[in-house]
Structure 1
């Protein structure tokens, strides 16, 4: 029992996940009279907003990750266990994990989100995604492997499919990776592949809605689309990819885009933990919580960040799945746990919107600030770089990222075009169970909007 955790007279706070919320909460409880136990399947904190730069070779994988044990070195009330959480048993105040059972006095779900494939099995089985460092490394290897294959084929149709890249989802991740790929096509790939006619390489950004960057301002949406079009990205709005197989991304039964490179960034679900009553799990797999992030119907279980479904009058669909939300909830919950220990009443959480931003390419970014303040261009780009650089965990990571960005900016090059771990998508196609384990996702009851365009894109 308890996987060799030390016995303590202090209450034990178990945090599942060391993302933005879990990391912040464990730090905020540093001086609290509790034992803090963090459980995560990875022994590092992963800075997800920069995963797309690992996928496109702009950053090293270890420059956006930092060891959990090193982060909390010197925090005497902190303990970490590397494990997969399999189930929570609220009646026994116990977690079942891959390394044994762990008891808790207070449990905090900070499990984040998983890719949402909207029930589209062919896409879940065959598409690439960017939710983890292994995903990003797989995508980087796969794209460059396909360019190597394109050099060896004389079949024009097969070569076109190997060169085409389709990104599905017009949120920040989709916009940012599309812009980064367009920059690669312009500045990087011609140096590596002079034998290929890269004018034939097409980058598609497909979005089911009417606009890119849906939650952002109209000005940001328009600027982002304009920047992408200027870079040569084919932006297709009101369009849904509903099937992907045999190198074809279908937006109707017969109309498709030929591609061996489909990147799925179209949505996320909450990463729920089995064992909670079904009625507390919302349709998008987020966990319903009250005003101070207590799971509905539970007295000592809480949820923060992407997995928490905190509905209010101003946010009827729940708070946005953003890092600042998770961090603010973590700070607030740390204070509330200490209030509970003192026998005081907890206080409700209030989210302070600090704005949103997205980068498209060099000197091109969009930023929305509170008070309807919007700016873009090189000032927005510099703001995006500064905010992300300061948010990275670890001084070394900040320095490495800054040096890599400076090198890319002044040389118009990216040095990390390495196929270190070749990726074979056929393994995933032949073994659906392996694909589901890799994606670690669930299937919701949602059907994408029907395709709105009727012209086949098979060039």
Structure 2
């Protein structure tokens, strides 16, 4: 029991996950008379907003990750265990992990989110996602491997599929990776692949809604779409992906876009842990909490960040799954723990919206501020860079990222075009560790023996 954690008379707060929420909560409890135990499957904190830059070769992976133990060096009440959480046993106040059981007095679930494929099995099997550093490195390798294959094939249709990139999802992640790919097509790939006619490379942004950047202002939506189209990206609104097979993304029974490079950025589910009662978990796998982030039905179990589903009159669908929400919930919960230990009443969470932003490309970004204030262009781009640089963990990461951005800006180059570990799509493992073979064995398959109807083709 307790995986060699020191015995303590102080309350033990166990935090599952060291993303934005878990990290901030653990830091804010530094001076509290508690024992803080963080459990994470990785030994580093991952700055997710910049994953797309790792995927497109603009940044090194270790410039957006920072060792958890180094972050908390010197915090006397902090302990870390690298482990996979298998389930929680709320009856015994215990977290069951692959390295043993850990007892808690108070449990905080801060596990974040997982990719939501909306039941589209062929897309889940074959599309690329960007939720982790391994995802980003796999995507980078896969893209460049396909460019290498495009050099060798003599089949024009196959070459077109290897060059085309389709990004599904018009939120900030989809918009940002499309912009980065367009810049790579313009400035980087012609140097590396002079034998390829890169005018044939088409980049599509597919969005099922009526606009890109749905949560942002109308001004930002219009301006971002204009930026994307100026960069040569085909923006397809009101288009729903239906299946992906044989190098074709179908958006109807007969119509498709030819591509081998499908990047899925269309939605997320909460990453709820096993062991909580069904009533505590919403349909989107987020955990239902009250206004102090306490899981419904429990007095000592909490959830914060993306996984927390806090429904209020102001937010009938729950708070958005954004880093600022996660950080503010962590800060409020830390303050509430201090009130709890002092016998004071807990205060409800209130979100302070400080604005939102998205970058499209060099000198192109959109920013929304409270009070219906909007700006974009070069000043918006500088604002995006400053905020993200400020938010990165670790002085070294800030310096490395700034230098990398400066080199990319002045040289129009992205030097990290390395296929360090070749990626095979059939070797894909999901967030639960299943290989694609294991996954396919338990999910419905599209029957290749069923004839495919005559199809209309987009993109060659």
Q: Which interval holds the TM-score relative to the shorter structure?
A: over 0.9
Look up the SS of the partner of 1:53 in the other structure: helix
Query: Which residue of structure 1 lines up, in the alignment, with residue 240 of structure 2?
Result: 240
Aligned to 1:50: 50
Q: Is this contact kept in 2: 1:125–1:436, CA < 8 A?
A: no
Q: Which residue of the partner structure matches residue 336 of structure 1?
A: 336
Match of 1:457 in 2: 458
Q: Is the 8 A contact 1:203 1:234 kept in 2?
A: yes
Distance in structure 2 (CA, Å) of the matches to 1:52 and 1:101: 36
Q: Equivalents in 2 of 1:411, 1:71: separation in Å?
A: 33
Contact 1:89 1:95 in 2 (8 A): yes
The unaligned stretches of length 5 or more in structure 1 are 444-453
Q: Is the 2:171–2:212 Cα contact (8 Å) retained in structure 1?
A: yes
* Corresponding residue of 2:131: 131
- Show the 5 A alignment for 1:13-412: 13-412=13-412
Post-superposition offset of 1:344: 1.3
Following superposition, the deviation at residue 338 of structure 1 comes to 1.2
Within 1, Cα distance between the matches of 2:86 and 2:402?
39
> Secondary structure at 1:24's aligned position in 2?
helix
Tell me the distance in 2 between the aligned counterparts of 1:305 and 1:398. 24
Q: Is the 8 A contact 1:40 1:81 kept in 2?
A: yes
Please report the TM-score for the alignment, with normalisation by the length of structure 1.
0.95
Counterparts of 1:27 and 1:313 in 2: how far apart (Å)?
Answer: 31
Where 1:275 maps in the other structure, the secondary structure is: coil
1:225–1:243: structure 2 CA closer, same or farther, 3 Å change rule?
same
- After superposition, give the CA deviation of every residue in 1:315-365 in whole Å (9 maximum; x if it has no partner): 111101111101100010001111111111111010000000000000000
Q: In structure 2, how many angstroms separate the alpha carbons of the residues matched to 1:438 and 1:176?
A: 30
Distance of 1:59 and 1:328 partners within structure 2: 28
Q: Tell me how far apart the structure 2 counterparts of residues 297 and 273 of structure 1 sit (CA, whole Å).
A: 16
Residues 437/220 of structure 1: CA separation in 2 closer, same or farther (3 Å cut): farther
Cα distance in 2 for residues equivalent to 1:375 and 1:47: 25
The answer to whether the 8 A contact 2:32-2:338 is kept is yes
8 Å CA contact 2:426, 2:437 repeated in 1: no
Partner of 1:2: 2
Structure 1 residue ranges, 4+ long, deviating more than 2 angstroms after superposition: 426-429, 435-439
Query: CA separation in 2, counterparts of 1:437 and 1:230?
Result: 43
SS at match of 1:318: coil
Residue 438 of structure 1 deviates from its aligned partner by: 9.6
Distance 2:176 2:459 in 1: 24
Secondary structure of the residue aligned to 1:170 is: coil
Retained in 2: the 8 A contact 1:36–1:78?
yes
Which residue in the other structure is 1:450 paired with? none
How far apart, CA to CA, are the structure 1 residues paired with 2:439 and 2:218? 36
Q: Is the 8 A contact 1:163 1:202 kept in 2?
A: yes
CA distance in 2: counterparts of 1:14 and 1:436, whole angstroms: 35
Structure 1 residue 255 displacement after superposition: 1.0
Q: Which residue of 1 aligns with 2:436?
A: 435
| Whole-Å separation in 2 of the counterparts to 1:348 and 1:259 | 48
Offset, 1:267: 0.2
CA distance in 1, matches of 2:220, 2:356: 10
Q: Deviation at 1:455?
A: 6.2
Paired residues of 1:170 and 1:205 also in contact (CA < 8 A): yes
Cα distance in 1 for residues equivalent to 2:133 and 2:96: 26
CA distance change for structure 1 residues 114 and 232 in 2, over 3 Å: closer, same or farther? same
Q: Distance in 2 between matches of 1:140 and 1:85?
A: 29
1-structure distance, mates of 2:402, 2:382: 12
What displacement does 1:428 show? 3.8
How big is the shift at 1:314? Answer: 1.2
Q: Aligned partners of 1:222, 1:313: CA distance in 2, in Å?
A: 30
Distance 1:46 1:180 in 2: 20
